[in-house]
Amino acid sequence: MASCRAWNLRVLVAVVCGLLTGIILGLGIWRIVIRIQRGKSTSSSSTPTEFCRNGGTWGNGRCICTEEWKGLRCTIANFCEKSTYMGFTFARIPVGRYGPSLQTCGKDTPNAGNPMAVRLCNLSPYGEIELQNVTIGNCNENLETLEEQVKDVAAPLNNISSEVQILTSDANKLTAENISSATRVVGQIFNTSRNASPEAKKIAIVTVSQLLDASGDAFQQAAATANNDALTTLIEQMETYSLSLGNQSVVEPNIAIQSANFSSEDAVGPLSVRFSVQKGASSSLLSGSTSIHTNVDGLNPDGQTELQVLLNMTKSNSKACGFVVYQNDKLFQSKTFTAKSNFSQKIISSKTDENEQDQSASVDMVFSPRYDQKEFQLYSYACVYWNLSTRDWDTYGCQKDKGTDGFLRCRCNHTTNFAVLMTFKDYQYPKSLDILSNAGCALSITGLALTIIFQIVTRKVRKTSVTWVLVNLCISMLIFNLLFVFGIENSNKNLKTSDGDINDIDFDNNDVPQTDTINIPNPMCTAIAALLHYFLLVTFTWNALSAAQLYYLLIRTMKPLPRHFILFISLIGWGVPAIVVAITVGVIYSQNGKNPQWELDYRQEKICWLAIPEPNGVIKSPLLWSFIVPITIILISNVAIFITISIKVLWKNNQNLTSTKKVSSMKKIVSTLSVAVVFGITWILAYLMLVNDDSIRIIFSYIFCLFNTTQGLQIFILYTVRTKIFQSEASKVLTLLSSVGRRKSLSSVTRPRLRLRMYNFLRSLPTLHEHFRLLETSPSTEEITLSESDKAKESM
């Protein structure tokens, strides 16, 4: 009867191991098939990143190059090499840009840290790339002193314009105060009452272009300064300046200005002027990319058109019109619209020389904006203009028009600064888990399942009190790993099927949007985030309970466990995390329930996990109070108990006890690791991933991933494989399998004599430096060899 029970136990273990192995392999194959299908669905429409060289990216059917390269594959140089002239050294300078010198003003000067000179890299009349002469600045002047000087009516505006251009040549160093001072100085140069020279104004345009390279945060701070109207004044002066260029144009990397004058013959009757901006190989504006045509019938965009404006003037008293194109919207700091994506948002300005009271022009526009169609899908757009009074976007007098050519069309009954504010569905999701994470989680899932089964099946044989705590820890960790592997990715990443259909846009709604991206609601992702939150808190809670139980068993050995200890720790282990999660979700919903996207205050859009707080909202973050704080408290207490147990029990040698002398260092190390794994000590590595050094952070990230994704496997090895019961049962199963295999192999032997002779031949081969000799075997030798082989197989 006992042998029958042992047989059933061995068969059960074998069946369970086989089933779990099959399940894990099946899940892995299923996941691989899904990834292959995703790759097939996207590979047909995507272009290999290797096609575009030197940092170029594929977009809108072509390579979008950086400023330093051009051509079909971004392989043609578009820069001036490193140079030295007049004692100043300049790094590589893109064509059309001023490069700052590597030499900077001394620390004891007002202009400390800023470049001492600049140099222009430009194209010659024959199209060759060449460097211009060096412009040397004055280290005793800074933007603040120039702002005071420009107020003087007799101030030398040419020198001041050159100095400001040099001081703003390094956009990475520009602060909000620098931007405010520079815009005030440039505003005085463009002030018509100051009668600045055309050369000073052209240099000031270079300064404006350089300012638009500064960070968006610096512009936000500059715009938020009390009574700061410098940006608004500059915008107005750019419009006025656009009327003064005759039929000329000024094009810089971030701003282009072009004018058109009309003769008396052109001014008879209605007049239409078309202004176009063509797409370039890079994101910067290039010379020749803008054009003006007068007396046209209407808009005629083609595949290379990025934006086009048709200015319709019904009265004949207009003599000139002007257009300004801004590469980005940094001068237009809105209080209602927030841009979160990084695609270029061009602003177009149109103006006539009519009086404001006589303005009768209307504007038709088409836009073909650049954005990453792999990550964003157009959802809607609004036709807006910049209201100089409110200093914000407005829709008065503007409306959307339908079109069948794929362009975004707008119409306004007035002239000013126009833009198209687009909203996108964001499909910018992270890549799937890497091989290390998948392999580690798969091993952990298998190890945890086997540990749970082993602990439950052998609980009566082992007669240990640790079973309940360990089983609950393994169950919570197993569920968390399953949810992590199969639910951490937002399923919305698979919903993008097209690049967006303009015909699906609501053309009757022209309200100013709040942001340029919208997130698709996904209640399932929110539920998975809550479950991951809950089961990870449960896992850490059972880690803490394991530490408390071992502390009672090993340190306070003379005192029994508290009454109803199992029931008490079960309520804590499964109940307290549920309360934390419920309170967190409830508070967030009560505060933001009216917002359709309230769930994004709890979880991330990219993955189904707790939301990462903004830099100014860490204190109110659910990630801090409902996860980081409780986890930190648990880890601190577990580390304290771990150190206490290690010193007083695991590594303590009692000279009066012979048993402690015989314990080897290896056994002590294994025991220490066993305690550390159950206490979750390896999660401390997560705090080491917060270092600022990228190389060090990557190293700790891999170490953290290796130790924590395989935590279930570690528990299986330390708490299941090392037990004598498991080793005994596994040995019996292996013996059973080997005996079955031996019977099958013996029955399949057809020519034993030939095989035995070959075996004896191989055994009798001499060494490398001896002669080879074939030893014949006798029947008695064959019988002896066969009997020895049988005995060896039976002993396995």
Q: What are phi and psi of 607, to 5 degrees?
A: -135, 165
Residue 633 reports pLDDT greater than 70? yes
Residues 329 and 456 in one domain: no
Q: How far apart are CA 765 and CA 773, in angstroms?
A: 7
Average pLDDT of the residues of the chain: 78
Q: How far apart are CA 312 and CA 545, in angstroms?
A: 77
Residues 406 and 484 in one domain: no
In degrees, rounded to 5, the angle at the alpha carbon of residue 786 between the alpha carbons of residues 780 and 792 is: 135
Q: How far apart are CA 184 and CA 145, in angstroms?
A: 12
Between 163 and 20, the more confident residue is 163
Share of the chain above pLDDT 90, in %: 27
Residue 538 lies in a domain: yes
Instruction: For residue 326, give both structure tokens.
Output: 């801004």
Predicted confidence (pLDDT) per residue in 375-418, tens digit: 677 788 899 999 988 889 999 999 998 876 778 889 998 888 88
374, 396, 428 - which closes a domain = 428
DSSP 338: B
pLDDT for 116 equals: 93
Number of domains in the chain: 2
Residue 698 lies in a domain: yes
Residues 309 and 414 in one domain: yes
Average pLDDT in the 446-466 region?
79
Residues 418 and 435 in one domain: no
Residue 294 lies in a domain: yes
Between 629 and 741, the more confident residue is 629
Q: How far apart are CA 238 and CA 517, in angstroms?
A: 30
Instruction: For residue 396, give both structure tokens.
Output: 């008065």
To the nearest 10 degrees (0 to 180), the angle between helices 629-645 and 523-554 is 20
Residue 127 lies in a domain: no
- Which among 495, 640, 469 is positioned nearest to 570, based on CA atoms? 469
Average pLDDT in the 315-335 region?
85
Residue 390 lies in a domain: yes
Predicted confidence (pLDDT) per residue in 519-536, tens digit: 777 889 899 999 999 999
Average pLDDT in the 102-113 region?
90
Range of the domain at 545: 431-494+523-649+667-727
Residue 771 reports pLDDT greater than 60? no
Residue 507 reports pLDDT greater than 90? no
Greatest distance between any 2 Cα atoms in the chain: 126
Average pLDDT in the 570-577 region?
94
Length of the chain: 796
Residues 394 and 441 in one domain: no
Residues 485 and 420 in one domain: no
- Which among 641, 607, 639 is positioned nearest to 623, based on CA atoms? 607
Predicted confidence (pLDDT) per residue in 19-45, tens digit: 555 555 555 555 555 554 444 444 444
Q: Would you call 727 helix, strand, or coil by DSSP?
A: helix
Instruction: Provide the CATH number for the domain around residue 325.
Output: 2.60.220
Helix, strand and coil content of the chain, in percent to the nearest 5, comes to 45, 15, 35
Residue 323 reports pLDDT greater than 90? yes
Global pTM reads 0.68
DSSP 264: T
Residues 391 and 479 in one domain: no
Residue 14 reports pLDDT greater than 80? no
Residues 370 and 440 in one domain: no
HSE-CB for 224 with a 13 A CA cutoff: 8
Residues 382 and 351 in one domain: yes
Residue 536 lies in a domain: yes
Q: What are phi and psi of 303, to 5 degrees?
A: -65, -20
Average pLDDT in the 184-210 region?
92
- Which among 217, 205, 113 is positioned nearest to 175, based on CA atoms? 217
Q: In angstroms, what CA-CA distances link 90 with 117, 208, 501?
A: 9, 22, 48
Burial of 520 (0-12, 13-18, 19+ CB in 10 A): middle
Q: In angstroms, what CA-CA distances link 777 with 472, 534, 758, 785?
A: 63, 72, 10, 10
Instruction: Provide the CATH number for the domain around residue 635.
Output: 1.20.1070.10
Instruction: For residue 29, give both structure tokens.
Output: 């194959």
Instruction: For residue 558, give both structure tokens.
Output: 């003379």
Which of 48-62, 144-158, 301-315, 733-747 is predicted with the least confidence, judged by mean pLDDT? Answer: 733-747
Between 413 and 749, the more confident residue is 413
Spell out the long-range contacts of 646-654 with Cβ–Cβ below 8 A and sequence spacing 24 or more. 646/672, 646/675, 648/554, 648/555, 649/554, 649/555, 650/675
Q: In angstroms, what CA-CA distances link 197 with 132, 187, 202?
A: 21, 14, 9
Amino acid at 440: G
Residue 701 reports pLDDT greater than 90? no
Average pLDDT in the 663-672 region?
70
Residue 409's DSSP bridge partners are 366, 401
677, 712, 727 - which closes a domain = 727
Residues 340 and 449 in one domain: no
408, 428, 448 - which closes a domain = 428
Residue 612 lies in a domain: yes
pLDDT for 159 equals: 93
Average pLDDT in the 611-619 region?
73
Residue 625 lies in a domain: yes
Residues 446 and 412 in one domain: no
Residues 449 and 363 in one domain: no
- Which among 590, 574, 659 is positioned nearest to 622, based on CA atoms? 590
Task: Give 773's pLDDT tier (boundaries 50, 70, 90).
Answer: very low
